[in-house]
Amino acid sequence: MSAIDDLPPLRDVIARHDLAAKKSLGQNFLLDLNLTARIARTGGRLEGVTVVEVGPGPGGLTRSLLAEGAKRVIAIEKDTRALGALAEIAARYPGRLDVISGDALEVDMAALVGDGPARVVANLPYNVATPLLIGWVASDRWPPWWDGLTLMFQREVAERIVAQAGDDAYGRLGVLCGWRCEARIAFDVGPQAFTPPPKVTSSVVRLTPRETPLPCPIRALEAVTQAAFGQRRKMLRQSLKSLGDAAALLAAAGVEPTRRAEEIPVEGFVALARAFEATRG
Ligand code: SAM
């Protein structure tokens, strides 16, 4: 473990603060500060940037974000057992670490960050990772308050995020993320890197917001992708019937009625969403 700061090794921190991992909180800790530094750097330089971290736990990634020069880290943690360990990091980096004790699903992050560039970097708890991502990407406000997301997911979820038409993993998540962001898998992380090790491989995903995503009402996009992927092996003329006159929708969007959801690129779903919105007046 390289010495990025003069704080004690994470194993000692975990023992001293009695932070035995809880499965119910999706706790798989990263203790290798070389790896957390690599994650911190994946989204680009951090000087002058405010970083929101969900689930700092004992604070390995938090320490790397601060050591890599983040102007300020806002760390949102549900487990109150971690607050003592995080207070020690805050004392080592005066004025640069704000710890919010609470549930990240209920925190208004945009209100917390204020002006200037902000980024999300997190080793997410797997049980709330997808709803958090959808909250960031499906934001009513665009461009959003963040200029990038660097997030750890289970590999299977990462594949769904970056999937394109024709890929096995392509579905609603891939359409939503592809519409609003450029998404790529930066690197994989094996189970042994975590304490305790999870059953599956994880991946760090990097999402960058598109400046001008194709204009599209988000609720309509959700309705269309839900209908289409709800019956993904069926032709769209069948699967879109729940939305009304499927043939008219497909004609208005310029999409062939015999195509299946998994073959339609993001632009096709945007056209369908706009056609659907028009039918609702
Ligand atoms: N960042 C640490 C690391 O990399 O070692 C811990 C990552 S661990 C995968 C997920 C963290 O998220 C845990 O500290 C857990 O307590 C916290 N957590 C779980 N659910 C949460 C929620 N709804 N809001 C905020 N934090 C949460």
**Percentage, residues of the chain above pLDDT 70:** 99
18 marked as binding residue: no
Residue 194: per-residue pLDDT: 98
> Is the Cβ atom of 86 under 6 angstroms away from ligand 1?
no
DSSP at 264: -
Please tell me the distance from the alpha carbon of residue 73 to that of residue 90, in angstroms, as a whole number. 10
Q: Where are the domains of the chain?
A: 10-209, 218-280
ipTM, 2 decimals? 0.99
The CATH architecture of the domain made up of 10-209 is: 3-Layer(aba) Sandwich (3.40)
Nearest CA to ligand 1 atom 19: 25
Whether 57 lines ligand 1, by a CB cut-off of 6 Å, is yes
Residue 13: CB within 6 Å of ligand 1? no
Q: Is the pLDDT confidence value at 1 over 50?
A: no
As given in the structure block, the two tokens for residue 15 are 């023992």
Distance (Å, rounded) from C-alpha 91 to C-alpha 47? 20
Model confidence at 280, in pLDDT bands (50, 70, 90)?
A: confident
The pLDDT of 107-114, averaged and rounded, is 95
| Architecture of the 218-280 domain | Orthogonal Bundle (1.10)
Q: How far apart are CA 181 and CA 207, in angstroms?
A: 6
